[in-house]
A and B are shown apart, each in its own frame.
Chain A
């Protein structure tokens, strides 16, 4: 156990970065009023050949990136052990590597993870978050040149969990990073999927799916920093909300610096409001400092259920409830199908059905 002693600037809720987040529901993660345990509750379901899982000290595994997020800074102060997953250079790992996080009933936790994807390696890493927890988490992911990493996180928390996390990817020359952030559980979940590039010809595809019901605040703050030339980014997040007090926040910051000539970026966020009172904030933000780019665009929509679609399905004999389920599954299908891990696809679709059931 370690007690934070630094003078953190406790967020008040007026800061741009915190204005959407319900601070009172963060269980003390943001204001140091709770002690965080330096613990590693992630365990592998098996580590295949070509990969290695180790616990290192924070001296052996220093932070790879800068952050100005208060909670993440605190996590870095507290966590003196770092779980490091290394994918060896040239490794071709077909089966996904599953890391399960279960911290049921334990003290609030600060967790640091690093994933090192060696040059020209191919791998998929899936992090499953289940049960109940108060978690401050940082996952740094470094892709060496030519690496291809698919990174999936499932937030299938119980409905009292509080989770603040940062997933930071550093994408090397000609490397391909694809992330899938699936957030369906938790009381408050705030995730910062952030990307920087360390070499040209690199690309990052960020996909997300979230479903908020009553008493859930699900927040995703994307930040993609293009400083290196000829890099590509795609962002596509889709969310559904059902219930009076369901809240979601999606921030899409994409910065194209003057040095990032040849950048190609597009970001998209779509929200489906399934009931009155639910609120989705969606803020795409594209800042461009050079005209020498391939393309840059963004789109954001927040809308209600399409009654014409429901009518069409019902007019073919499909009962209203099933028609609703089909339309919602269809809405998310675009994201889920990209996972290409059949067991997960089914699991997520079934979870979406459950969310819908509960939302009634």
Chain B
């Protein structure tokens, strides 16, 4: 059982005009096995929250705390956070030319597990995970994300999640750009990990579509750099109906 606790998190980015505050006091607790949907308008700071937890150097934490099972996440390097059990499926996965998917996955899994996986079982493990996500095995030999379609990149993110077996996963618009079939495949992947690992999930999305496959326990409305309302699945339906107007400054 793991718990990620975000307390009064304030985050800024540096701009030409100086520091600009994006997150203005985020409070959120995610336990193993729970799925928290985060919904909110463009530019409200959802990706900023995701990246800040993962440790992207662009963001400066000005106050607040993030802990995973009592450990100070903000004090960890980026790779330490991953080793501690955090995973971020990115909204825009990065292309890494010349680094093959198979080499990348093996290096990452070796780092996270603390030892190189046994060649024989490893090949099978990757193959099985790829098949389940309907990824052609030829992706193994391609450069990381290079020339992948939008949907292929998202599947590749979930593939990594399956293999790295995190405790808490943040999925930043993993559903965007997926066709109907891919959405189902990817959702099944997420649910598999959730069941097997008792994964806690922060699911950032604009659409209720994915929530039909991945049932949220909680829905949070994110606006102006913080959570402005919380509820159950019914809140998502309401947002889809009436939008975010009531949460935005007039």
Interface residues of A (CB under 8 A from B): 307-309, 311-320, 322-323, 326-327, 329-334
Contacts and interface: CB of A to CB of B under 8 A. Distances in A.
A319 B114 CA distance: 12
A79 to B, nearest CB: 40
Contacts of A308: 94
A320 B107 CA distance: 12
A315 B54 contact: yes
Interface in B99-134: 99, 103-104, 107-108, 111-112
Contacts of A309: 94-96
Contacts of A317: 79, 82-83, 108, 111-112, 164
Contacts of B20: none
A195 to B, nearest CB: 27
B97 A331 contact: yes
Given A311-B78, A313-B96, A322-B107, 16 more contacts: A313-B104, A314-B82, A315-B78, A315-B82, A315-B90, A317-B82, A317-B83, A318-B79, A318-B107, A318-B108, A327-B99, A330-B143, A331-B98, A332-B98, A333-B98, A334-B98
A33 to B, nearest CB: 44
Given A312-B93, A317-B79, A317-B112, A329 B160 contact: no
B79 to A, nearest CB: 5
B56 interface: yes
Given A322-B107, A322-B111, A326-B104, A315 B99 contact: no
A313 B93 CA distance: 11
A330 B96 contact: yes
A309 B107 CA distance: 15
B55 A327 contact: no
Interface string B26-67: 000000000000000000000000000011110000000000
A124 to B, nearest CB: 23
A307 B99 contact: no
Nearest to A313: B96
Contact of B79 (A319, A326, A332): A319
Given A307-B57, A311-B57, A330 B97 contact: yes
Contacts of B81: 315
B101 to A, nearest CB: 12
Interface string B205-244: 0000000000000000000000000000000000000000
B88 interface: yes
B79 A320 contact: yes
B90 A312 contact: yes
A326 B111 contact: no
A4 B144 CA distance: 56
Contacts of B88: 315
Contacts, number: 82
Contacts of A316: 79, 82, 104, 108, 111-112, 160, 164
B149 interface: no
A314 B90 CA distance: 13
B96 A314 contact: no
A185 B116 CA distance: 33
A234 to B, nearest CB: 18
A305 to B, nearest CB: 12
Contacts of B144: 312
A45 to B, nearest CB: 30
Interface residues of B, number: 29
B71 interface: no
B14 interface: no
Nearest to B56: A311
A249 to B, nearest CB: 24
Q: Which of B88, B93, B94 has the most CB of A within 10 A?
A: B94
B71 to A, nearest CB: 15
A326 B78 contact: no
8 contacts: A314-B77, A315-B81, A317-B79, A318-B108, A326-B96, A326-B103, A326-B107, A329-B99
Interface string B131-175: 000000000000110000000000000001000100000000000
A329 B100 CA distance: 11
Contacts of B94: 308-309, 311-312
A313 B100 CA distance: 12
Nearest to B82: A317
A314 B111 CA distance: 10
A334 B96 CA distance: 12
A319 B111 contact: yes
A327 B94 CA distance: 12
Q: Which of B81, B97, B143 has the most CB of A within 10 A?
A: B97
A316 B81 CA distance: 9
Nearest to B145: A312
Nearest to A330: B98
A303 to B, nearest CB: 13
Contacts of B97: 330-331, 333-334
A315 B108 CA distance: 9
A315 B172 CA distance: 14
A323 to B, nearest CB: 8
Q: Which of A307, A313, A316, A332 has the most CB of B within 10 A?
A: A316
A308 B78 CA distance: 12
A302 to B, nearest CB: 16
Contacts of B111: 316-319, 322
